């Protein structure tokens, strides 16, 4: 029930996608 962990995971995934480009 930790929304913070979910938000951090999404942010990390978004950053990884941006770096991939």
* 1-21: pLDDT as tens digits: 799 999 999 999 999 999 987
At 1 the pLDDT is: 75
pTM higher than the cut 0.85: no
- Cα gap 12→4, rounded to integer Å: 12
- Cα gap 7→21, rounded to integer Å: 22
User: What tokens appear for 3 in the block?
Assistant: 């929304």
Would you call 2 helix, strand, or coil by DSSP?
Answer: coil
User: What tokens appear for 16 in the block?
Assistant: 């990884």
């Amino acid at each position: 029930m930790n929304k913070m962990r979910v938000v951090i995971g999404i942010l990390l995934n978004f950053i990884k996608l941006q770096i991939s480009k």
